[in-house]
Structure 1
């Protein structure tokens, strides 16, 4: 990916930032396996983690890469290696014509929303796996004056996790957006065809064609109507997953700080609704989102999380933390602590099935001169559209119905306090409930974390972290865990 994205950088010079790092961490957990109290065992770990961060932002190339390799040594078990990667880039290969987007990640993810939940990469739960996700998307885009903007995109995606998951897909789409000079009616036409190849299933093809008409009532309010036809050939439990679809919606922007977009419609699986609202003040940002769609586990791993809260903090903390790299790391730590279960608040459990997913999320962040507070409420509901028999490699015979219908509710909060120009205190709290509506099983999780970081020198920092975790379930397996760690990080 680095090679592909760097090709056009030769034409226009850009400033590159390359920061190698080494992190040494000592930690202790009184329940490393997240087992019931009578089976809990305490253990020390030593983690050595070399890494590198690469970034550049120019007129034709933007790239951000953060990679680390963790070597974890245990006192009671064999050593092991883990990796973390978060990389994304955009390149303008041929001005105003050819572009390239790419993303890649390596992360530790929980396999199921039920059972022990991973909080620290050093933990050994039996309910987590390494997920590798890659997306490479070249596309042609050009503006034809007075006619339309045309975009032809090809997207190759792959998600793998050892023997548990190996899925790749290719998606070809064409989108035409009319040019009416900003006056009166406008239109947009899109068509796409996606082939999904899961090694455990026959190839699935999903296609859709839709036409959207929009009309601005005034500078603040516009209305839109969409109609089209979609066809999918996965083996549905109910009606054939195809048919006409429509939606009616509107966009309201009463000011530069407020936006509301909403729609109501119907697809082959029933009525659909969507909402995307945001409200921004000088030191506060609110978002409220609701969405319904057919999704898959691998599709969720490749979805792009919203960046509103991170962008808001980056702008607010530009003077408070002048160093861009240090500011980025502080924001990442803050959002990670305040969203312990992941960017969407719920566990994207492993499955080969297709689901109707309904997501609702309310999030806010407030930033003062020396502190910031983030709060998130989320609810996610999944209803399986395909047979549970295809998940037999992931679940035992007595658990196949566990994920037919699920609901996850989460509440998360994070607080960051800048004690001094070199010291930061971050506190995070999380409550979650995962419920199987098909079997009646309910699991509850809570976590409290405290992290203190201090900058010894411009490129040397230390941190101390504490955590307390609880898990309870009406199916058994209740546990508690306390952990403490201290880390030294050096950048070169």
Structure 2
């Protein structure tokens, strides 16, 4: 699928909003110009490096609409790259992120849609590469989703929600990862009348059909009971039944059985939330935990989950718009959502896997100093084979308001991974140092230096080292 097809899908998503009579749009164009230098533009192994100067021009806009029955948030960027020593390598890349919602019946029936178009590495051969690197290992990724949702209030007794979602993922250059996902869910939760003893019921169904013939079906039903021991302490129990069908070519693996969970939620203050549970699923004992704590100048987050997911679901989850352009030197956690590591993304392959994922972060701001620290670890066991993957990372960042309009920043990370079908480990070190300056409300500039070092134990990958220097001027209108 080409970028023109992607823009066509985006136009379908927003056309009902454009036709809305009470539509009021906020249009913000932006422009940035960068001059870059890389001493290893192709990420070649030691001894084969080639350097180049790159002029990068980013032109784009943000389009927002709030109010009434229609709302949308859209961002588009055209990334133009001009290589001084390799004119034939000059390229254009299109990127957008967007979501929209139309309230057919206010607060009762609405339709949500999201779309994204970006680029990613197709294999692990050059982990950490971006669009500037000439490594021939890049493909466009399109995700699209539309979800009608119906809510129903049953007086003070209960609330219910019925949701259907159609999702599509297309990856250029990797047809085996192209797929569509259908999901349906029904959730009923007890209302205010059940203040001490609450209850809930949930049914979920999902079917993933990949273009290579892989099909995965997951369905479950659960009943929940909750006892609010105090205003701050709650105990809950969940019992249900799940049926999962993993089918590829002539193989067919089906797993089903009774599931259960026992857990507790504790909120000692408005700033702290703790939740943990243990239970049983078809793959064995399962655990989960969540911790949130806000201090005066910082916050701490921790999540541990065990779930059945896929590369398709991962791409869909990451399509939730958070803005097309990232701010230079920004924190590892923004609005409670962590940014991804390079090796955090699973390989592009079909089929489902059991994910055991731990992520923790600490970020804060005190006077002129800002900081962030994040650790991540994930095990992935694929259901249709004996393959497995493991990835772990640690990263930190610092920012300092040196002058009223001038900031210094530094980022560093260490990422390590082993992947299915490969011998040996990959370790990626990344460092970034920079300074940014604000000129008024609409113009800013930055200069930064970055270093990346990939150490690979793979037989067909010798790793690489790259030093890069860039100067950027940004303007919004």
Q: 2:171 aligns with which of 157, 161, 166?
A: 161
Distance 1:187 1:304, change over 3 A: farther
Alpha-carbon distance in structure 2 between the residues aligned to 1:379 and 1:5: 41
Distance 1:345 1:7, change over 3 A: farther
Q: Please report how far the alpha carbon of residue 235 of structure 1 lies from its aligned counterpart in structure 2 after TM superposition.
A: 3.0
Q: 1:431 aligns with which of 394, 407, 414?
A: 414
- After superposition, residues 357-368 of structure 1 pair within 5 angstroms as 357-368=355-366
Is residue 248 from structure 1 mapped to residue 262 from structure 2 by the alignment? yes
- After superposition, residues 79-118 of structure 1 pair within 5 angstroms as 79-112=90-123, 114-118=124-128
Decide whether the 8 Å contact of 1:147 with 1:179 is kept in 2.
yes
Decide whether the 8 Å contact of 2:215 with 2:247 is kept in 1.
no
Alpha-carbon distance in structure 2 between the residues aligned to 1:451 and 1:251: 42
* 1:135 aligned residue: 145
Decide whether the 8 Å contact of 1:211 with 1:226 is kept in 2.
yes
Alpha-carbon distance in structure 2 between the residues aligned to 1:474 and 1:343: 20
- After superposition, residues 192-341 of structure 1 pair within 5 angstroms as 192-235=204-247, 240-303=254-317, 330=327, 333-335=330-332
Gaps of 5+ in 2: 1-12
Q: Please report how far the alpha carbon of residue 304 of structure 1 lies from its aligned counterpart in structure 2 after TM superposition.
A: 5.5
- Taking structure 1 as the reference length, the TM-score comes to 0.85
Secondary structure of the residue that 2:89 maps to in structure 1? Answer: coil
Q: Please report how far the alpha carbon of residue 382 of structure 1 lies from its aligned counterpart in structure 2 after TM superposition.
A: 0.7
Decide whether the 8 Å contact of 1:186 with 1:215 is kept in 2.
yes
Q: Please report how far the alpha carbon of residue 216 of structure 1 lies from its aligned counterpart in structure 2 after TM superposition.
A: 0.6
Q: Please report how far the alpha carbon of residue 36 of structure 1 lies from its aligned counterpart in structure 2 after TM superposition.
A: 0.6
Say which structure is richer in strand: 2
Alpha-carbon distance in structure 2 between the residues aligned to 1:69 and 1:291: 36
Decide whether the 8 Å contact of 2:214 with 2:351 is kept in 1.
no
* 1:394 aligned residue: none
* 1:124 aligned residue: 134
Secondary structure of the residue that 1:234 maps to in structure 2? Answer: strand
Secondary structure of the residue that 2:15 maps to in structure 1? Answer: helix
* 1:17 aligned residue: 26
Distance 1:344 1:78, change over 3 A: closer
Alpha-carbon distance in structure 2 between the residues aligned to 1:344 and 1:226: 36
Paired residue total: 454
* 2:9 aligned residue: none
Decide whether the 8 Å contact of 1:115 with 1:477 is kept in 2.
no
* 2:45 aligned residue: 36
Q: Please report how far the alpha carbon of residue 368 of structure 1 lies from its aligned counterpart in structure 2 after TM superposition.
A: 1.0
Distance 1:453 1:336, change over 3 A: farther
Alpha-carbon distance in structure 2 between the residues aligned to 1:225 and 1:146: 22
Secondary structure of the residue that 2:468 maps to in structure 1? Answer: strand
* 2:472 aligned residue: 487
Decide whether the 8 Å contact of 1:340 with 1:430 is kept in 2.
no
Q: Please report how far the alpha carbon of residue 182 of structure 1 lies from its aligned counterpart in structure 2 after TM superposition.
A: 4.3
Secondary structure of the residue that 2:43 maps to in structure 1? Answer: coil
Alpha-carbon distance in structure 2 between the residues aligned to 1:344 and 1:90: 31
Q: Deviations over 1:354-402 (max 9, x none)?
A: 11111111101010122210000110111111138xxxxxxxxxxxxxx
